[in-house]
Amino acid sequence: MKRFRFQTHSLLWRILLSTFVALTAAFALTGWLLQKHATTISQTSLEEEVRTSLQAYESFWKLRVANMAEASRIMSSMSDVRAAFMTRDQATIRDTAGQLWTHISKQYASFLVLDPAGEMIASLGGRPEFTGNPALVQKAFSRFPDQVSGYVAQRSRLYYVVLTPVYVQAQHGQELLNVLLIAFDINDSLALELKKSTNGSDFVFVSSSGVMASSLPGLKLADIRFSKDLSGSLKRVKIRGKDYLLLTTDLRDTSGHLIGELYVIRCLAALQASVSDLRRSIALFWIGAVMIAFALTYVLFRRALSPVKALDRAAAEVTQRNYDYRVPVETGDELGRLAITFNQMCDSIRAARQDLIRQEQIATIGRLSSSIVHDLRNPLAAIYGGAEMLVDADLSDEQRHRLAMSIYSSSRRIQELLQDLLDVSRGKGKALERCALADIVRAAQEQLSSRAVLHSVEINIDIPQDIEVIVSRDRLERVFINLIDNAIDAMPSGGSVRISEREESGQVVVLVEDTGPGLSDEAWQNLFHPFASYGKKNGLGLGLALSRQVLLDHGGDLWVEKKVDAGARFLMRLSLAPRSTPLSQSSGASLPATA
């Protein structure tokens, strides 16, 4: 799978992608902050609702208990009721207090009349199975004559009781006559009534025996899973797969001991639904904003980048050497100034190119002049030597003829060199020819044959006649003349020069080897640099530099092997001529530098 490369795409798409990433990051951060803020506010609101529900429960319960306690206090203070209690007759007590109880109490509760030992004397209403609890009266006796209230677990049920003592005057002071007990049944109906009065909060009464009453149908203690403690007694729980906020308060008996807890819970489904709606709204808004931003960015930046595209087209034209191309200046901003600068740059490049062409022409003439001066030394030396021998020596007719031919050949050589200089100054180039490589090497050998004989140097040529190259014959011939002449100079006491070849993938590599002392370490560093001359008293140091330039102009190269057994080994590479290539073809204005 190819990796996405941001740099390879167009500038417009990179801007669009950057806009998308920036908008996504901004909306993600904004949405997260907004969602967190909304969740915090909603959760705080729910926590307040739970606490308000608990306060409403306490107010509701206190009002009910206060009403019942006041009713029992009124009955205990009435003389006829107290007289009926003294009879300890159930029928008399029911007849006397029952009608009053019916008028006072409209709440569903049990009302019992107990003796001082806690045994039931009469029941005036409510659940008949709640028959009192002797231990309950004994625990509350220490707090009499005050009313005593609290939660009581009776027969797997939960009640809230109010105990009101009834005293009579005796010889030794006040004597406990009866105890009035009002018991409220804590059941699911009461929990539902509390839920309605608190606008949706659920109530669960829990004791050590489990859930005693609940506004959630069928709730068991095992269904409640505590997940996180919040502030104070507020907790976060999960009930039957749903999240709730839970606030606890203690349930204590008439002695103040803890016998259970009341859970006031509020479902978080509404909060989660509102957060989901908020998240969905943010996502839809983000999609719409991204689409609008994409459209606006595309239109605006497409228009803003049109000068950049014009500059891109202009740069492509400049790479094709079209320095006359101009970028239209449409704005006065940075891009407009850049277009002006680009046009000025093209003018500068064109002027510099023209100056460079003029300087190159002058440098070419200079290099050619140096090369010709270098190459004129050999034919002039031959003319000078031949003329001196004709004047001073007594020669035979054959020797004079040979010397005359040498002088004539050297004169023709000087004329060719001067014509090369004239051609270059007029902008003319040498034509390339299809030549046999062996013929070029032999022509160079013939021009140096007399020097070779004089220095006892043998020149061996091992090049097949069928190897052909397309070159400027005169220039390549001067390369071989320069290499052979250098080899002769390196062997003043005699030796041999061998010129051979090998073919490599459509190219020919020519080896020029001698048996001389080889190259010194000093000569290696600047061997092919101009004006670097080593071992020649009158040398200009141009021969190898110009020879290598000739090979480079023909698409080849010239180098030397450092590690050889003896002597020096120069190698040159040239392309072989295809067999279907015509005999000659024009090369244009190639540099006729000589070796």
User: In this predicted structure, what is the pLDDT of residue 84?
Assistant: 65
Number of other CB atoms surrounding residue 320 within 10 Å:
8
Q: Which residue has the tokens 């306490």?
A: 58
Token pair in block for residue 374: 């270098």
Residue 354 has pLDDT above 70, yes or no: yes
Highest mean pLDDT among 33-37, 51-55, 99-103, 181-185 belongs to 181-185
Contact between 251 and 260 (Cβ < 8 Å) = yes
In single-letter form, the type of residue at position 386 comes to G
Q: Read off φ and ψ for residue 497, nearest 5 degrees.
A: -125, 130
The span from the CA of 391 to the CA of 406, in Å, is 15
pLDDT tens per residue across span 38-96? 677 766 776 777 777 777 777 777 777 777 777 777 766 766 666 666 666 666 666 66
pLDDT tens per residue across span 527-548? 777 665 655 555 555 678 778 8
Residue 131 has pLDDT above 70, yes or no: no
Contact between 536 and 492 (Cβ < 8 Å) = no
The span from the CA of 131 to the CA of 255, in Å, is 20
For residue 64, count CB atoms less than 10 angstroms from its CB and return exposed for 0-12, middle for 13-18, buried for 19 or more. middle
Instruction: Report the range of poorest mean pLDDT among 384-388, 494-498, 538-542.
Output: 538-542
Highest mean pLDDT among 228-237, 405-414, 421-430, 545-554 belongs to 545-554
Q: Which residue has the tokens 């797997």?
A: 156
Token pair in block for residue 219: 């709730």
Q: Please state the rounded mean pLDDT for residues 205-215.
A: 87
When comparing pLDDT for 479 and 581, which is higher? 479
User: In this predicted structure, what is the pLDDT of residue 589?
Assistant: 34
User: In this predicted structure, what is the pLDDT of residue 130?
Assistant: 58
User: In this predicted structure, what is the pLDDT of residue 495?
Assistant: 92
Token pair in block for residue 20: 């998308």
Contact between 590 and 553 (Cβ < 8 Å) = yes
The span from the CA of 382 to the CA of 20, in Å, is 83
Instruction: Report the range of poorest mean pLDDT among 126-140, 309-323, 443-457.
Output: 126-140
Model confidence at 498, pLDDT cuts 50, 70, 90, reads very high
Strand 457-462 relative to strand 495-504: parallel, antiparallel, unpaired? parallel
CA neighbor of 593 nearest in space, from 552, 557, 559? 552
Q: Which residue has the tokens 């208990």?
A: 65
User: In this predicted structure, what is the pLDDT of residue 548?
Assistant: 84
Instruction: Find the angle CA(555)-CA(476)-CA(591) to the nearest 5 degrees.
Output: 60
User: In this predicted structure, what is the pLDDT of residue 463?
Assistant: 93
Q: Which residue has the tokens 């004791």?
A: 207
Residue 100 has pLDDT above 60, yes or no: no
Token pair in block for residue 40: 């915090």
For residue 526, count CB atoms less than 10 angstroms from its CB and return exposed for 0-12, middle for 13-18, buried for 19 or more. middle
User: In this predicted structure, what is the pLDDT of residue 56?
Assistant: 76
The span from the CA of 168 to the CA of 79, in Å, is 10
